[in-house]
């Protein structure tokens, strides 16, 4: 199933296989993903194609400085015909929610997503409304522009299973992009691009169940814990990863192994996912910044130093 989904999305989005793999992993693990990359790297189109291929209801919020929580959640409006309040649902009532340029709205509005991302429900006027069990947030942010941007608070960042940094395509991939998409300016609908719906609800539920049953040996658990604890030691990080980070990394490794067709996790799964799972949960120390180190390079040093089980 995973290969078919990758191939179908590749019809429209060229050269983002790693991103699709992490999005699939996040979906099976019940997590959310933050995509960071410069404009024009197909972040929005990728989210649309992902939702279309998995046959999930797609919603989009364009985050702006004047966006209010009610614009995300919805509100109870009084119906004069029935003399009662009626819930007008906001775009958060979807299965795949694209939070486009999430760092362009103030923290007050960002916080409207916290309950939905953690508990998959929304509270309006004291009443709880359940969201789909497949509710997944795909958020995007531009790392270049700082004017009019609001850095995501730690509580918001911690809701994301992965933070993935998109790279520019290779020369061959870019040649293909220009050849196939250079005749039109506007982004087309996934259906217009020839993408099919490959997955139904039963298939997706079965995949999620398979990911949850993937075996995690005691040795691999210890390996995960040693990596996370290492971020709290030494001088590289001012703030290390939390215990919840270790649990989320384990869930991601289970889902990744299932996508690879295995019913057990190997240390390489953990090593592969550690950087996207931890880079947004640690804070680089001033001393490390002065030395010219980055968060990713500091995490790589830890992964090189922590011995993996055999």
Give the HSE-up count for residue 113: Cα atoms under 13 Å, Cβ half-sphere.
Answer: 32
Q: What is the pLDDT of residue 201?
A: 83
Q: What is the pLDDT of residue 35?
A: 95
Helix (H, G, I), strand (E, B) or coil at 306: coil
185 has pLDDT over 70: no
pTM for the model stands at: 0.91
pLDDT digits (tens, 9 = 90+) for 154-166: 888 889 999 999 9
Q: What is the mean pLDDT of residues 28-44?
A: 90
Q: Is 277 exposed, middle or buried (0-12, 13-18, 19+ CB in 10 A)?
A: buried
Q: What is the mean pLDDT of residues 142-161?
A: 80
In the structure, what pLDDT confidence band is assigned to residue 147 with cuts at 50, 70 and 90?
Answer: low
Joined tokens for residue 247: 């649990």
Average pLDDT, the chain: 89
Show me where the domains of the chain are located: 2-199, 213-305
Nearest to 283 by CA among 272, 291, 294: 294
Q: Span 2-199: which CATH code?
A: 3.40.50.300
- Strand 121-124 and strand 127-130: the pairing is antiparallel
Q: What is the pLDDT of residue 153?
A: 84
pLDDT digits (tens, 9 = 90+) for 281-302: 999 999 999 998 999 999 999 9
Answer yes or no: are the C-beta atoms of 171 and 133 closer than 8 Å. Answer: no
State the Cα–Cα distance between residues 133 and 303, nearest whole angstrom: 33
- CATH of region 213-305, choose from 1.10.8.80, 2.40.440.10, 1.10.10.10, 3.40.50.620: 1.10.8.80
In the structure, what pLDDT confidence band is assigned to residue 228 with cuts at 50, 70 and 90?
Answer: very high
In the structure, what pLDDT confidence band is assigned to residue 279 with cuts at 50, 70 and 90?
Answer: very high
Q: What is the pLDDT of residue 173?
A: 84
* Helix, strand, coil share (%) of the chain residues, nearest 5: 45, 15, 40
Q: What is the pLDDT of residue 148?
A: 65
Q: What is the pLDDT of residue 56?
A: 94
């Amino acid at each position: 199933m995973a290969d078919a989904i990758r191939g179908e999305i590749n019809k429209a989005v060229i050269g983002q296989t790693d991103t699709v793999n992490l999005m699939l992993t996040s979906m099976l693990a019940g997590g959310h993903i933050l995509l960071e990359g410069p404009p024009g790297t197909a972040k929005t189109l990728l989210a649309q194609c992902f939702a279309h291929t998995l046959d999930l209801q797609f919603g989009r919020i364009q985050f702006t400085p004047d966006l209010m929580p009610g614009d995300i959640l919805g509100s109870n409006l009084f119906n004069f015909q029935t003399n009662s309040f009626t819930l007008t649902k906001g775009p958060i009532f979807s299965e795949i929610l694209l939070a486009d340029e999430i760092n362009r709205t103030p923290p007050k509005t960002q916080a409207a997503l916290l309950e939905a991302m953690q508990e998959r429900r929304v509270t309006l006027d004291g009443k709880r409304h359940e969201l789909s069990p497949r509710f997944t947030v795909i958020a995007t942010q531009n790392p270049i522009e700082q004017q009019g941007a609001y850095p995501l608070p730690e509580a918001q960042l911690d809701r994301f299973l992965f933070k993935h940094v998109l790279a520019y395509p290779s020369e061959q991939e870019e040649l293909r992009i220009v050849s196939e998409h250079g005749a039109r300016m506007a982004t087309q609908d996934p259906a217009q691009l020839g993408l099919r719906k490959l997955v139904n609800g039963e298939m997706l539920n079965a995949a999620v169940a398979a990911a949850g049953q993937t075996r995690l040996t005691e040795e691999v658990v210890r390996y995960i814990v040693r990596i996370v604890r290492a971020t709290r030691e030494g001088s590289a990080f001012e703030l290390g990863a939390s215990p919840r980070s270790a649990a989320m990394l384990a869930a991601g490794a289970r889902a990744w192994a299932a996508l690879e067709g295995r019913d057990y996790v190997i240390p390489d799964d953990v090593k592969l996912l550690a950087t996207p799972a931890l880079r947004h949960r640690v804070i680089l120390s001033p001393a490390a910044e002065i030395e010219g180190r980055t968060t990713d390079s500091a995490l790589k040093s830890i992964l090189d130093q922590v011995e993996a089980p055999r």
